[in-house]
Structures are given as C-alpha cells and as structure tokens.
Structure 1
Amino acid sequence: MSATTAVKGTAPKLKTSAMIASFADPGQKTAPAPFGHALVKAAQENDKIVGLTADLGKYTDMHIFAKAFPERFFQMGMAEQLLFGAAAGLAETGLVPFASTYSVFAARRAYDFLCLDSAEPNLNVNIVGGLPGLTTGYGPSHQATEDMAIFRGMPNLTIVDPCDSVDIEQAVPQLAASEGPTYLRLLRGNVPTVLDEYGYTFELGKAKVLRGGNDVVFVSSGLMTMRALQAAKALAAHNVDVAVVHAPTIKPFDAATVLAELNTDRLAVTLENHSVVGGLFETVASAVVTAGLGKRVVPVALPDEFLDAGALPTLHERYGLSVQRIVAKVLAELG
C-alpha cells in the first residue's frame, strides 16, 4: 500500500504505508512473495494441498496460490474462527490446508478453534500468520508481539519463525508433509534472501550453526537472524568474534544443537522479533536450566509492553532490534 501525493509545482512526495513496510535494507537482495510461490510449487506436486484465507490473500501472498489454483482456494471472509474450523474439516477429509491471516487474529481471536479442531486431533492444518512481531508500524492492534508465547503451550503444534526467503521456500513443503498442525510466522512481499550465502538448508525441528566465533554466541530466529549476522560482521570491527546459531523451529526446539554451542565460556545472546516473554529467550533459558548448565543468557527482544505505532526503522531502533542497538548491547556486556 504505497501512495504518491503531489503538490502543484513541487516534486512528488513518496509515502509508504506502515502496514506492509519492508524490513529489507536498501539494495538488499530479495525474493518476491516466497511463500506464495513455494505453495504453488508444492501444490503442483501434491494435489491434496488447498489454500484458505480470511480476506487477506493479497497481504499474506496467498493470492498467488489463488490465481494458480482457483478451484483449490477458499475465501472465508473476515471470520478467523470459521477459517480454522473449515481448515480442520478439510484436513479431516485428507486434504492439506494452508490457512492465512494476520498473526494477531490467529493467536488472539481463533485460538480455541485451532486448539480443539486441529491440535487435539493432531490434524495437518498449516496456519500462516502475517505481520509477526514488529513487522508493521500499525500499533498493538496488528503487532503480534506475543503470538509465540500464546502458541507455545498448545500440544502438537509446530512453530516456525523463518529468517528469509530461503527458509520460507524450503519450509513450505516440509510443513505440508509433517504430521499435525503448524504455525508459520510469515514474512511477505519482497523478503530478504540471506541464508543462501551460508550453505544453509532448512530442516524442520533443527537449528543450524551459520558461523563460528570465539567470544560471543548468538542464538536467533526469524528476521533477527539476518540482524544477528549483520551485527556479527559489525562486531568484527571491534575485534569481537561472534558465532551465530539460527533456530527457525521454536517448537519442537532443537535443544541439543543450541546447548552444545552455549556450553562454553562465550557470552550467550538470544535475538528474536517477539516479546521477551514466552518466545525464543525463554525457550533457550528453559533448555539451559533443564540441562543444568548454569549459563547466563542475555535477551535481545521486544519489551513486555504494547508498542508504539510508526515507521519500522524508527521502531526497531527504539526497541533494540536494530544492528546498531545489538552491537551496543554486546559491547556493553563485554565491558
């Protein structure tokens, strides 16, 4: 939703809607609508895949699937509970539904329908949540800062927080093939392509070490893995050697890989585009305590509060998700 306004005698003034603003850096390599194209490709190979949305096809990239497979697409209108109930019914017949809406509506409005209709019977219903965390500037009504906290307690539900277009493209067919319901924190539109430079492949339920480092270890998920990699490069200028572990599957969590990296004397930092309550930080902290490591973990996360509306770069800087803020926090911790 971009608009151009012009005043007579002046150059056009460009304005970008906060709703679908991109978090990609200027000039960064991106891929258009990776989820939509990945779902079409998966559907070409699996005729059981169907798509549904709650009046948000264009804003969750589901419109690409709808155009390719109109007979396998269902527009449910602004009725998220109906969306999830219908998806469960389709799964009961042996179909593989992907149902898209905004993350806030999936987590806050329709939790019970997902829980009892899909998770309890362990049906293959794939929820695709747009605008996760701080990926919109429209304020608390659309910022799903607590979605993983809400969903982590649901039995049988798999939670995936992808970093980039590579993660999304590779995750979609694995989610379709997995048993039980899944929740994908969707990055939509022109999504950065980052992980292709690290010899990375997405494996459902697995964390991956993207780079080694002797001084600090970052454990990150979602778009914050991109920021972690950027911060690691920036910290090298300060003679700080940073390892980065990407954990795109929040549940079930790959504690073995993460704890192997944390069981050292390096500074441990988690980075997530989610509230400090109930997300990656608490998942990692729980694993550390359960294993008896006695390890301090420093969180980079959104605060436990309702966030402001505004431009994404401003908000990311304000709430500590920018590369500059990450670097400053690490240097302060190292003293």
Structure 2
Amino acid sequence: MAETKTTEAPKKKLTTSAMIASIAAEGQPTKPAPFGHALVEAAKANDKILGMTADLGKYTDLHIFRDAFPERSYQMGMAEQLLFGAAAGLAHEGFIPFATTYAVFASRRAYDFIHQTIAEENLNVKIAAALPGLTSGYGPSHQAAEDLALFRAMPNMVVIDPCDALETEQAVAAMVAHQGPCYMRLLRGKVPLVLDEYGYQFELGKAKTIRDGDDVLVISTGLATMWALEAAKALEADKVSVGVLHVPTIKPLDTETILREAGKSGRMVVVAENHTVIGGLGEAVAGTLLRGGVAPKFRHIGLPDEFLAAGALPTLHDRYGISAKAMTASIKGWL
C-alpha cells in the first residue's frame, strides 16, 4: 500500500524588517506617519509649535514637520541631553517644543535633564518617544520596556500610551491644549488603524470602554489594546465574553472608571501592557483596586523583569506572552 504524504503550507519567512516593522497584522489597515501629519496640522493653527529631534527625524516621523516648517525645526545632533535642555529653554520663552527621540534615550539617557529642566519647572515641553516597550527587535539597547515606570514617577509629567494611528493624531491635539510637560509613546511609520471602527475619541486622563463583556475585563493600554481586541474576538468562538477598557493616559490615571468597571461582579480582571510588569499600568491598577476596596480575580500580562532578546517582533511577542495569540491562550487557561 502506497504511503500517503501530507504537505503543510510553508511558513512565511521573517526578514530583518520584522525586527522593526511588524506591529500591524497582515492585511490590517494602517496609516502612514500619523504623528508627523498631526503635528503639521496643529502647527498650522499655532505658530508657537516647534519640532526638535536628536538625529532621528526620519525615524520619529518629524521629517514631515521639518519639510512643512523648516524654519521651526531643530536638528540637535546625537545629543539627547542637549535636546531636552534646549527644549526647556524654548518653552521658557513661550514656545511649545515637540522633542522627539527613541524612548530608550528619553527615559534612560536624558532622564535627569528632563526631570530637572522640564518637569521641576513644569514647562510646556512635549516629548514624543519612538520604539516604546517591545516594538524593536534590536535588543535591550533599543527596547524601552521600563519607560512608563520611569515617567510615572516624575512629578508634573503627563504620560500617554496611544493604541493606534487615530489615537496618536488625537493625542497630539490634546498635548498642545494641555499646559505642562507630556510624555507620549510614539507609534511611527505605518501605524495600525484599530479604534476608528468603534467611533473612538481620545480624552486626556480618561479611560474608555471599547467593548463590553460578561466573563473577563481586560484593562489595557497602547498596542496591548489592539491585541486585547483581537483576543476578545478570538475568544468569542469559545463563548467567552471579554470586555476591553482602554487606558491611554497612564498619568493622570482614570481611577474612577477603573474602579467602576473592575467592580462589576463576576468578571476576572486582566491588565495587559507592552511594558515590564514592574511599575507600569498593571501595578498602577492593582494599587487602585486595593485602595478602592475592589478585589476581583486579578491577572497581569506584560513583559518579564529581564533584559529582552533580539529577534523578529512576532516571535518575541509570542515568546513574552503579549501577542493576541498568547493573550488568548493565557485568558483561556486562567478561566
């Protein structure tokens, strides 16, 4: 009897571009450079807005602002401490500088300069930092897994973690309207469009219920909200009803909405974030629940407290349990 062989479709080979450009799922709608285009629109209405970068204009989408307003753009070279010191001086003179770099350089290399020259003086500097969390496969030198914890601890600093292109655009306008320093995790390049189908509108300091559910409540921020929504849809096949509460502003935290939604009986609460489990949204929510006397079954999805590996992002997201696929499996296991 002849042996019958079955053949599996070959897996798509991941190229090196998967180390930096694998945030959007295959076939997912995207929008190019939402931050750069939103900043241009804001600057048309406000001549105090400036664009600044430390040799990373192309990689933070600030080159779009530079091309539109060359006389209001400043290239500071590879000198992040100088970037933020100069931004503080310009803000002191009444301008609204948007200073861009990678999140690792803002949160680690220039932290003291931001702390002393911007936050302590409560100056109107807006920091937009690319490659937040695990959005680069180039290892610990480029992975800002702890940036939310660092900036949450800084007095006067507003901390924003947008989910998609739509929210990035809306957050830029909100940052301009806010008087005081802001740190925003920057999604750059071809950024996924997720929240448009839900009629979403960003409000500084407000958490929003994206979808309701009876069995599980995922409280998420940033890209983790995209993965949580994908996981919620996947879990519908197992008749698991998952709600998603999106928390784009880490500081100030919308404790009222979190306590109300987490306090609904019978739901397991899962916090999901593209950040280390130390000091980010998970611990902020846990502290809020304890202080508020709300005690649901609580689980946390985030990056481990370790230096992360280099590699293709889809592989790393699965390995560290933050992808939609991994999140789906974790929630099923906990239930």
TM (norm. structure 2) is 0.94
Match of residue 175 from structure 1: 175
Distance in 1 (CA, whole Å) between partners of 2:251 and 2:298 is: 19
Match of residue 192 from structure 1: 192
Distance in 1 (CA, whole Å) between partners of 2:228 and 2:51 is: 33
- Confirm or deny: 8 A CA contact 2:267 2:296 kept in the other structure: no
- Confirm or deny: 8 A CA contact 2:274 2:322 kept in the other structure: yes
Match of residue 8 from structure 2: none
Which 5+ residue runs of structure 2 have no aligned equivalent?
1-12
Match of residue 271 from structure 1: 272
Q: 1:20 offset after TM fit, Å?
A: 2.9
Match of residue 82 from structure 2: 82
Distance in 2 (CA, whole Å) between partners of 1:105 and 1:132 is: 11
Match of residue 201 from structure 2: 201
- Confirm or deny: 8 A CA contact 2:209 2:245 kept in the other structure: yes
Q: 1:237 offset after TM fit, Å?
A: 0.4
Match of residue 313 from structure 1: 314
Which residue type is aligned with residue 109 of structure 2? R
Aligned pairs (5 A) from 1:1-335: 15-17=15-17, 20-264=20-264, 265-334=266-335
- Confirm or deny: 8 A CA contact 1:22 1:190 kept in the other structure: no
- Confirm or deny: 8 A CA contact 1:148 1:159 kept in the other structure: yes
SS in 2 for 1:201: coil
Distance in 2 (CA, whole Å) between partners of 1:123 and 1:32 is: 30
Q: 1:206 to 1:14 in 2, by over 3 A?
A: closer
- Confirm or deny: 8 A CA contact 2:267 2:297 kept in the other structure: no
Q: 1:19 offset after TM fit, Å?
A: 5.2
Distance in 1 (CA, whole Å) between partners of 2:63 and 2:22 is: 19
Q: 1:327 offset after TM fit, Å?
A: 1.0
Q: 1:18 offset after TM fit, Å?
A: 5.0
Distance in 2 (CA, whole Å) between partners of 1:41 and 1:189 is: 18
SS in 1 for 2:21: coil
Distance in 1 (CA, whole Å) between partners of 2:100 and 2:112 is: 17
Which residue type is aligned with residue 314 of structure 1? T
- Confirm or deny: 8 A CA contact 2:268 2:296 kept in the other structure: no
Which residue type is aligned with residue 154 of structure 2? M
Which residue type is aligned with residue 293 of structure 2? G
TM (norm. structure 1) is 0.94
Distance in 1 (CA, whole Å) between partners of 2:104 and 2:320 is: 19
Distance in 1 (CA, whole Å) between partners of 2:298 and 2:105 is: 31
Distance in 2 (CA, whole Å) between partners of 1:174 and 1:123 is: 16
Distance in 2 (CA, whole Å) between partners of 1:176 and 1:123 is: 13
1:128-151 deviations in Å (ceiling 9; x for gaps): 111000000000000000011111
- Confirm or deny: 8 A CA contact 2:91 2:97 kept in the other structure: yes
SS in 1 for 2:89: helix
Q: 1:18 to 1:25 in 2, by over 3 A?
A: closer
Q: 1:292 offset after TM fit, Å?
A: 1.5
Which 5+ residue runs of structure 1 have no aligned equivalent?
1-12
Q: Choose 294-303 or 75-84, whichever is displaced more.
A: 294-303
SS in 1 for 2:238: coil
1:92-151 deviations in Å (ceiling 9; x for gaps): 010000000000000001111111111111111001111000000000000000011111
Q: 1:14 offset after TM fit, Å?
A: 8.6
Which residue type is aligned with residue 310 of structure 2? A
Q: 1:332 to 1:15 in 2, by over 3 A?
A: closer
Which residue type is aligned with residue 17 of structure 1? S
Q: 1:21 offset after TM fit, Å?
A: 1.6
Distance in 2 (CA, whole Å) between partners of 1:261 and 1:15 is: 41
Name the Cα RMSD after superposition: 1.1
Match of residue 6 from structure 2: none
Which residue type is aligned with residue 293 of structure 1? V
Q: 1:328 offset after TM fit, Å?
A: 1.0
Distance in 2 (CA, whole Å) between partners of 1:205 and 1:267 is: 24
- Confirm or deny: 8 A CA contact 1:23 1:135 kept in the other structure: yes
- Confirm or deny: 8 A CA contact 1:235 1:242 kept in the other structure: yes
Q: 1:19 to 1:45 in 2, by over 3 A?
A: farther
Distance in 1 (CA, whole Å) between partners of 2:14 and 2:195 is: 31
SS in 1 for 2:26: coil
